[in-house]
């Protein structure tokens, strides 16, 4: 069934919010889809915050907690690793892991800078291991189903893609000045949540060739310095001293796709009352579809039904007719739901399918090259904003 029946030993670097999602995904990979994946050994979770790492290892059944990423790189028994730490650390960790012969799944955005992303894409080109970037929304049954509608031309020629990712994790002006608020333009809401909606747009509607009309803004320009570690988007004790926010809270832009399709995009981390609002509409001359992550177990679909009495948008409930659902949930019945946590499990399974050489794998993960692609689009958005919204070309797909 696979190239080897030897267990795959996995580790996660980073025990915060997203790191725990990777850990839970690895724990569940052999509970979904078909046989063929070797046993998975949950080897280690590494974090400089040792208490956090130990708690995550206990919760998700990993053998041990390690105090540093270097300890993972130096462990010859570990085969595959997720990198889930601050963006600026992605490149040095990935380079060390690949040099040690380990397969790497890196969280998005790919790196802390475009220069580092290019170096990682070049590393991938010459590496003899599997390398991947974590665009989990590609695994959403609803988004994958909408992509199939588009590929089958069931919406006709596309006329508009309207995408947004509105979050509220930065609405509190007393929220600590963590690493998420450091870095230049493009490393804020654009890099954090915008990278997801940009990738989803290209995944559904094809390559973007240019952007224009870009505007970046920062609503909360100063934040209090934290007194200790900041975990994910959580609140933390802060001092009376404030520091400058270095990147954007909100961004909007227009895009032109290779097909001629027009796209509009807006992202924010200061959208009150919207905890995780990735959503998009894709319109065509013969139909339309829409997805909203706040209702992830469904999507909206409307097409040219022959009977005028029944025309109109209809709610498509997630079920075995959608990608990933059959074999991916314990109760394979419409209406039992789908979650962001499931997406992480499907992503981990796809990554390990690639590592193990499973003969009938899930669709492969996005690559470092895909991660670079998104960062090139983000750079074009930033350049457009610095030039009064001028049309700015995006490098062609490699």
pLDDT at 157 over 90: yes
The top-scoring range by mean pLDDT among 322-326, 388-392, 393-397 is: 388-392
Q: Of 21-35, 168-182, 307-321, 352-366, which gets the smallest average pLDDT?
A: 307-321
Q: Which of 43, 51, 40 is nearest to 16 (CA)?
A: 51
Query: What does DSSP assign to residue 365?
Result: P
Angle 141-151/195-205 helices, nearest 10 degrees?
A: 40
- pLDDT at position 398, please? 77
40-75 in b/e form (b: 16+ CB < 10 A) is bbbbbbbbebeebbbbbbeebebeebbeebebbbeb
- pLDDT at position 2, please? 39
**353, containing H or E segment:** helix 340-356
Q: Which residue has the tokens 């690895």?
A: 26
Domains present along the chain, CATH in parentheses: 8-137 (3.40.50.720), 141-295+297-335+374-385 (3.30.360.10)
pLDDT digits (tens, 9 = 90+) for 278-311: 999 999 999 999 999 999 999 999 998 887 777 8
- pLDDT at position 3, please? 47
- pLDDT at position 23, please? 98
What does the alpha-carbon distance between residue 259 and residue 36 come to, in Å, rounded to a whole number?
Answer: 39
Q: What percent of the chain has pLDDT over 70?
A: 99
- pLDDT at position 176, please? 94
pLDDT digits (tens, 9 = 90+) for 112-136: 999 999 999 999 999 999 999 999 9
pLDDT at 58 over 60: yes
What does the alpha-carbon distance between residue 346 and residue 172 come to, in Å, rounded to a whole number?
Answer: 33
Q: What percent of the chain has pLDDT over 90?
A: 89
**Which DSSP string do the residues of 262-306 spell out, in sequence order?**
EEEEEEES--TT-SSEEEEEEEETTEEEEEETTSTTEEEEEE--S
Q: Of 62-76, 230-244, 359-373, which gets the smallest average pLDDT?
A: 230-244
Q: Of 3-7, 334-338, 370-374, which gets the smallest average pLDDT?
A: 3-7
Angle value at C-alpha 231, between 8 and 84, nearest 5 degrees? 30
**DSSP β-bridge partners for residue 256:** 210, 262
For the chain, list the strands marked E by DSSP: 8-13, 40-46, 64-66, 80-83, 103-107, 131-134, 158-166, 208-217, 222-226, 238-244, 250-257, 262-268, 277-284, 287-292, 298-303, 314-317, 392-393
What does the alpha-carbon distance between residue 218 and residue 228 come to, in Å, rounded to a whole number?
Answer: 25
pLDDT at 174 over 90: yes
What does the alpha-carbon distance between residue 321 and residue 305 come to, in Å, rounded to a whole number?
Answer: 20
User: Is 369 in contact with 124 (CB distance < 8 Å)?
Assistant: yes
359-380 in b/e form (b: 16+ CB < 10 A) is eebbeebbbbbbbbbbbbbbbb
Average confidence (pLDDT) over 258-266? 97
Structure tokens belonging to residue 309: 């009495």
Average confidence (pLDDT) over 211-218? 98
Average confidence (pLDDT) over 268-273? 97
Where residue 32 falls (left for φ over 0; alpha for ψ -120 to 50; beta otherwise) is beta
- pLDDT at position 35, please? 87
Average confidence (pLDDT) over 57-72? 98
Q: What is the pTM of this model?
A: 0.95
- pLDDT at position 4, please? 59
């Amino acid at each position: 069934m696979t190239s080897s029946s030897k267990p795959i030993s996995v580790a996660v670097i980073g025990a915060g919010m997203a790191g725990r999602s990777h850990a839970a995904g690895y724990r569940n990979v052999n509970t979904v889809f078909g046989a063929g994946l070797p046993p998975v050994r949950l080897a280690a979770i590494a974090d400089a915050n040792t208490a956090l790492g130990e708690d995550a290892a206990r919760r998700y059944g990993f053998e041990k907690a390690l105090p540093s990423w270097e300890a993972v790189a130096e462990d010859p028994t570990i085969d595959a690793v997720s990198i889930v730490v601050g963006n600026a650390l992605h490149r040095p960790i990935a380079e060390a892991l690949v040099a040690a012969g380990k397969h790497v799944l890196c969280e998005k955005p790919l790196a802390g800078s475009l220069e580092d992303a290019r170096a990682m894409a070049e590393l991938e080109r010459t590496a003899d291991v599997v390398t991947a970037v974590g665009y989990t929304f590609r695994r959403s049954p609803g988004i994958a189903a909408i992509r199939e509608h588009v590929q089958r031309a069931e919406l006709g020629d596309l006329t508009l893609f309207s995408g947004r990712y509105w979050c509220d994790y930065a609405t509190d002006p007393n929220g600590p000045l963590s690493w998420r608020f450091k870095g230049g333009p493009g490393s804020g809401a654009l890099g954090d949540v915008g990278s997801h909606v940009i990738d989803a747009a290209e995944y559904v509607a094809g390559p973007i060739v240019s952007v224009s009309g870009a505007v970046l803004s920062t609503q909360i320009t100063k934040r209090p310095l934290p007194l200790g570690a900041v975990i994910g988007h959580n609140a933390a004790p802060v001092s009376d001293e404030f520091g400058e926010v270095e990147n954007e809270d909100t961004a909007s832009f227009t895009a032109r796709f290779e097909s001629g399709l027009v796209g509009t995009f807006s992202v924010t981390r200061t959208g009150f009352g919207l905890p995780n609002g990735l959503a998009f509409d894709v319109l065509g001359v013969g139909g339309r579809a829409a997805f909203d992550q706040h209702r992830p177990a469904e999507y909206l679909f409307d097409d040219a039904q022959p009977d005028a009495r029944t025309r109109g948008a209809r709610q498509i409930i997630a079920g075995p007719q959608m990608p990933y659902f059959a074999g991916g949930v314990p109760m394979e019945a419409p209406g039992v739901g789908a979650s962001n946590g499931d997406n992480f499990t499907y992503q981990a399974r796809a990554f390990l399918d690639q590592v193990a050489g499973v003969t009938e794998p899930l669709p492969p993960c996005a690559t470092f090259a895909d991660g670079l692609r998104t960062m090139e689009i983000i750079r074009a958005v930033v350049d457009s904003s610095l030039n009064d919204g001028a049309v700015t070309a995006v490098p062609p797909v490699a």
